[in-house]
């Protein structure tokens, strides 16, 4: 009987080792968290860079930022008077069609951001805004850069 007891004890040790070598049932989330943090940082840095389509030098004002809940349609006017909807250049005849296309369904109720270069002719900006307004676009916003409080007069160069 002593021999049977010794044989059974050795078998118990082997069984214990086999359980320790079994597959892990827990998921290691540390690499997942690392990847997600890196992606979060990348998106936080790159998101502001995606909003600018046509490079312009916007005029400076002391007005506050405009808040909107829906995605706006952006109309840009370059220094030479060229008109862009989004990032594509359009001619005068195609302006309303492209703004309506970019706005999608209910385009006339969506905000339209008009971005004009500070050196763009006033006539070009006024004509674009008047054409959009007369076509029924009611939420027109003129986009400018903000000036820090106490800075020099925007009309002066410096």
pLDDT the model gives residue 156? 46
Query: Does domain 55-146 sit in CATH 3.30.420.270?
Result: yes
pLDDT the model gives residue 35? 94
pLDDT the model gives residue 39? 94
Query: Where are the chain's structural domains?
Result: 2-48, 55-146
- Sorted by sequence, the CB contacts under 8 Å of residue 129 that are 6+ apart come out as 114, 140, 142
pLDDT the model gives residue 38? 94
- What digits encode the pLDDT tens for the residues 47-85? 776 665 666 666 666 666 656 566 788 888 888 888 888
Task: Report residues of the chain scoring pLDDT below 70.
Answer: 1-22, 49-70, 146-158
pLDDT the model gives residue 133? 84
pLDDT the model gives residue 14? 52
């Amino acid at each position: 009987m002593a021999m049977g007891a010794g044989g059974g004890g050795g078998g118990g040790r082997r069984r214990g080792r086999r359980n320790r070598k079994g597959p892990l049932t827990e998921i290691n989330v540390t690499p997942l968290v690392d990847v997600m943090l890196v992606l979060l940082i990348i998106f936080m840095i790159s998101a502001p860079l995606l909003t600018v389509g046509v490079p312009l030098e916007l005029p400076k004002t002391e007005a506050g930022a405009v808040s909107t809940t829906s995605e706006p349609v952006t109309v840009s006017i370059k220094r030479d008077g060229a008109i862009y909807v989004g990032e594509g250049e359009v001619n005068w005849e195609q302006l309303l069609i492209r703004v309506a296309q970019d706005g999608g369904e209910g385009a006339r109720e969506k905000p339209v951001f008009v971005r004009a270069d500070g050196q763009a002719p006033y006539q070009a900006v006024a004509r674009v805004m008047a054409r959009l307004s007369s076509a029924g676009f009611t939420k027109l916003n003129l986009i400018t850069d903000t000036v820090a409080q106490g800075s020099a007069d925007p009309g002066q160069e410096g």
